[in-house]
Structure 1
Amino acid sequence: MGFAHQAEKVEKKSSRKKKDGGEEETGCWVKLRFMGSCMSSRSRVDNSMSGRTERKPTKEKSRDQPVVPVSSTTGSNAESASSTPKFSEELKVALQLRKFTFIDLKLATRNFRPESLLGEGGFGCVFKGWIEENGTAPVKPGTGLTVAVKTLNIDGLQGHKEWLAEVDFLGKLLHPNLVKLVGYCIEDDHRLLVYEFMPRGSLENHLFRRGSLPLPWSIRMKIALGAAKGLAFLHEEAERPVIYRDFKTSNVLLDADYNAKLSDFGLAKEGPEGDKTHVSTRVMGTYGYAAPEYVMTGHLSSKSDVYSFGVVLLEMLTGRRSMDKNRPNGEHNLVEWARPHLGDKRSFFRILDPRLEGHFSVKGAQKAAQLAAQCLSRDPKARPRMIEVVETLKPLPNLKDMASSSYYFQTMQSDRARSNLNAKNGIRTQAGFVVRNGQPLRSLSSSNGPQASPSQHPHPSPKPKAKES
């Protein structure tokens, strides 16, 4: 799991019924109560060995769904609960990583207490902690170095493999747009990872959490650029190419200045070498983000990440989730709903996040929509390389041609408001006419018509705070 919700304090009150009618506590709480940590011999999440399911640390149910393998046998963690597996994989540790003892991390997180919990996922929990700036000893909360401590539930080979992948990749990959792995703990059955703390949490929370303020346009483009740089580094600049394989909004974390950093390398895969164009692997990832050719064939390439980036860019443009069954029919799948509009210079404005209320660059939005369309091409060869994506995104955060001052956008808003009003009154427009009860009447435009949606009141976009406690 990614520690995608670091900035969120959560309360887990989940319980499940026993056969005798009582209630049995599950998740982190039972582990904290009886063991003082998030480690247990039995996971409370039924994880497919070939898919990923995350439990979000919010009260909203997760909409992320695991990609089902093309051909595989699905296994449950419960099958391995009877005994602790014996792992023989060699642990590859970079020299700069710090090695922690379990007691160090227990004290650093204040005994893994609920108040320190940042998030929970299928493979463990994430806690906030404090350690020495240049050491491993725990320090008083609010002092030293603030970190995120991710624990692992040792229930099966898959979780251990993901833990090893995190240590291997993040231990040797250093880049401003990759989250920094500070160190690790491997002691008896305990497996923990220590990361830099990301105070603004995940991009997912900022885009979709109820009650959150809308991200300003320039910040969205800054985040897109930072995430693109992270992927470009993995594809083009790393000693050996790396395919991230699980690019989505919950795995894009933000520091205090909204700099984007990729987290959770549990599914990362070394890319093809030489003349090979792809690597063949079991299909793993998240529905709505995985490239169609990868889901169909298991052929994984850097262009698979490019497709996933296109989906996330589209989420940032529209304010919609990649998959949302609460939407009307025909709008459940974001890519399929938005694709016809991306190449249309007029209609694509209609799919932009209404919470932006015109506070976005017209040229920037057009460029971003065109880029998303290229990344989402059904033909992998037609998709751009991430280094090309970076070059396209570079100027976008600084463009100042705001749509709110555009005559066309004001006209479009007026038409949208009129259409909404007509829909409420049982009127529909058709080819320049108003149709009421099947009888066409000529449409009359009003100079005093509304300039914005009647349900919205224009106001300046919020300015990000310099720091967040």
Structure 2
Amino acid sequence: MAMVSSRLVFLVSICILISQAIAQPNFLYHFCLNNGNYTSNSTYNTNLNQVLSSLSSNTEIDYGFYNFSYGKSPDKVYSLGLCRGDAKPDICRSCLNNATNLLTLLCPNQKEAIGWYDYCMLRYSFRNIFNVMEGRPSFYMWNRNNVSANLDQFNQDLRTLLDSKRVQAAAGGSLRKFAAGNATAPNNQTLYSLVQCTPDLSDQDCSDCLAGAIGKIPQCCGGKQGGRVITPSCYFRFEVYLFYDAKADNASSPSLSPPPPLVPSVSPPPWNNTAAAKGKESNKSQTVIIVVPIISFVVLIIISFCIYLRVRKPREKPQSESVDEIRRVESLQLGFGTIKVATDDFSDANRLGQGGFGVVYKGKLFDGQVIAVKRLSKNSGQGDLEFKNEVLLVAKLQHRNLVRLLGFCLEGIERLLIYEFVPNGSLDHFIFDPIKRAQLDWARCYKIIGGIARGLLYLHEDSRLRIIHRDLKASNILLDSEMNPKISDFGMARLFELDQSIGNTSRIVGTYGYMSPEYAMHGQFSVKSDVFSFGVLVLEIISGRKNNSFRNGENIEHLLSYAWKNWKQGIISNLVDPTLKAGSTTEIMRCIHIGLLCVQENVADRPTIASVILMLNSYSITLPTPSEPAFFMNSGTESNIRLQWENDSRVTESNQSKSSCVQASINEVSITELYPR
């Protein structure tokens, strides 16, 4: 009994140490990556202790960057520490010392972990993390205060400032890639910014990393007076007050500036180390008062959990998961009777449309909330598995440019999905309708293009899972009452292996015309498949024409063919729908240029969606010249493969020795890649 009590005291002490470390004012966030475990007395544990000890005790380095490794494979440990560029060496070492003590407590027995403080970052891994640019896992923080006026000018000033600092930091040497500075913002405000990369990155990798982080401003902190995006390889921060040592402005030498006053971070402590963190920060003093009871509560929860883990009876680990995953979202389940009443017994008057899933109905719940109900048809290709996939997948997705799942019904043979009602219907009803088309001026079209891109960025990089939509098209973009776009339809979710970025399938699903050539012809898909579809969609929005055959005078042409021909001849304005010609010519031409970059045949040549957002928002970036779209390109000289969009929705792959056709299926649309968040 005495032994149990002493062990409990020890565990409680450890838990208190963890909670105290987390409660330190400049602790931000951490991730424990599930990439393997080690035991307490293992060689890996010994090597980890050795490398962390070397990092925290080193007094020779005074430029804030530490990278050490120790041991031999497979137990070799790599560690990397980075201090903020305006931190004095003693503050830097103190921060790293705290981090080395805390991170192994927060992530016991896990081979890979990363943690951030205001003044330093520490990570360690069993794999080589040196000279490698990594943008995930990441998290955001933002100032609670909104920009009060002149938001467009504020955003432009912010983008110009961050771009200039990005270039300056990327040009730094192998000891430090850091830049800080300020600029004038609207209403006589001063805008301050700080950017930094790990110095082991190349100039290009540093620039690309910061460009990707800066491209996340709209979903991170759009319209806010301050914010930051933090990744393993780079980060940036901006505020309308001075938050760093002013002597570090435009710093270029490896020697560090005198220490700034320690400004406590008043962010709420992290609650979950598997989801992307989105903290909130403010320079308001009263916020600190709110944090104190929250920290106390967290301390109590951690201590209670540690005691529970120690005293609970051991039990055998189940060999298989027999519990249906649908129970994970039981709180979203609604009764069939409730939905039947809401839709007036699924009356034709409430019918909104029909797709591969089945019929969609408008409904109204008892509380007055208007909903859209998808009713699985009996002869639909989607069965229980696809239905559960969509529920489990979409329930985890929360973004203003994605349609929100409100609930589901699974009763007897009935399978229903309940979504938010989006009053303006789908985008195709506007861009391809000569009457409704007039409601879309260029400002709205530009807003729709940007919103779709931000929704895709969330799916590709910022959600808990990596989602490849595979059926991005105009009919799957819904418009709310303010004409904000919302991506819909996630009916065929599948899980990627960890770190997998390219997949193969023998079952081609989606809509031809929006489908990338490598996917349509070879079943290969990646995030660049969605980029191709996005490029087609951009050209459709601007031209008002579908990417299938349309009559151009006496000839039948395809949109990509028509766009490329006019681009080569320097008369790309012919592509622009007349209703948009009153808009910004520069923006329209730039969007066409981006669209053509997205539909290139070579997957590597297409930009990522993060780069697309940066291109849309920053005119300081020079766009590369696009190559010929996939519609025209041959995949090799011997096989003579050509991609053809046919009227019967099939794709033909042909060469000298074989010919085959693959029939498209409808509305089977999503791929999921697990990624640490």
Pick the aligned partner of 2:406 from 168, 178, 182. 182
Pick the aligned partner of 2:426 from 181, 202, 207. 202
The match for 1:262 is 487
1:147 paired with 2:381, answer: no
Pick the aligned partner of 1:166 from 385, 390, 407. 390
1:234 paired with 2:468, answer: no
Q: Distance in 2 between matches of 1:207 and 1:157?
A: 29
The match for 2:227 is none
Per the alignment, in what secondary structure is the counterpart of residue 449 of structure 2? helix
| Superposition pairs of residues 410-421 of structure 1, within 5 angstroms | none
Q: Distance in 2 between matches of 1:90 and 1:342?
A: 53
Deviation at 1:331, TM superposition (A): 4.2
Q: Distance in 1 between matches of 2:462 and 2:330?
A: 20
Deviations for 1:295-339, whole angstroms, at most 9, x for unmatched residues?
110011110000000000000111101113555565432112212
Kept in 1: contact 2:501–2:526 (CA 8 A) = no
**TM-score (normalizing by structure 1):** 0.59
| Superposition pairs of residues 69-148 of structure 1, within 5 angstroms | 90-92=324-326, 94-95=328-329, 98-131=332-365, 138=366, 144-148=368-372
Kept in 1: contact 2:518–2:524 (CA 8 A) = yes
Shift in CA distance, 157/364, structure 1 to aligned 2, threshold 3 Å? closer
From the two aligned structures, give the one with the greater strand fraction. 2
Pick the aligned partner of 1:315 from 517, 537, 540. 540
AA in 1 matched with 2:545? R
Deviation at 1:269, TM superposition (A): 4.3
The match for 1:305 is 530
The match for 2:605 is 382
Q: Distance in 2 between matches of 1:180 and 1:273?
A: 26
Deviation at 1:91, TM superposition (A): 4.4
The match for 1:212 is 436
Deviation at 1:208, TM superposition (A): 1.0
Deviation at 1:241, TM superposition (A): 1.2
Q: Extract structure 1 runs of 4+ deviating beyond 6 A.
A: none
Deviation at 1:240, TM superposition (A): 2.5
1:192 paired with 2:426, answer: no
Q: Distance in 2 between matches of 1:384 and 1:153?
A: 38
Deviation at 1:343, TM superposition (A): 5.8
**Two-structure CA RMSD over aligned residues (Å):** 2.3
Q: Distance in 2 between matches of 1:375 and 1:178?
A: 21
Per the alignment, in what secondary structure is the counterpart of residue 158 of structure 1? coil
Q: Distance in 1 between matches of 2:504 and 2:327?
A: 25
Q: Distance in 2 between matches of 1:205 and 1:249?
A: 8
Pick the aligned partner of 1:349 from 566, 570, 573. 573
* Structure 1 unmatched runs, 5+: 1-87, 132-137, 397-469
Per the alignment, in what secondary structure is the counterpart of residue 436 of structure 2? coil
Q: Distance in 2 between matches of 1:382 and 1:271?
A: 23
Q: Distance in 1 between matches of 2:326 and 2:609?
A: 28
Deviations for 1:388-407, whole angstroms, at most 9, x for unmatched residues?
111222369xxxxxxxxxxx
Shift in CA distance, 300/92, structure 1 to aligned 2, threshold 3 Å? farther
| Superposition pairs of residues 422-441 of structure 1, within 5 angstroms | none
Shift in CA distance, 339/270, structure 1 to aligned 2, threshold 3 Å? farther
Q: Distance in 2 between matches of 1:169 and 1:212?
A: 33
Kept in 2: contact 1:94–1:171 (CA 8 A) = no
Larger Rg: 2
Pick the aligned partner of 1:336 from 561, 567, 576. 561
Q: Distance in 2 between matches of 1:94 and 1:327?
A: 53
Shift in CA distance, 320/279, structure 1 to aligned 2, threshold 3 Å? same
Q: Distance in 2 between matches of 1:104 and 1:385?
A: 43
The match for 1:21 is none
The match for 1:223 is 448
**TM-score (normalizing by structure 2):** 0.42
Deviation at 1:268, TM superposition (A): 4.5
Deviation at 1:292, TM superposition (A): 0.8
AA in 2 matched with 1:105? I
Shift in CA distance, 330/270, structure 1 to aligned 2, threshold 3 Å? farther
Q: Distance in 2 between matches of 1:362 and 1:122?
A: 38
Kept in 2: contact 1:343–1:369 (CA 8 A) = no
Which structure is higher in RCO with an 8 Å CA cutoff and minimum separation 6? 1
Deviations for 1:79-129, whole angstroms, at most 9, x for unmatched residues?
xxxxxxxxx994435548521111100001112111111112233111111
Shift in CA distance, 364/276, structure 1 to aligned 2, threshold 3 Å? closer
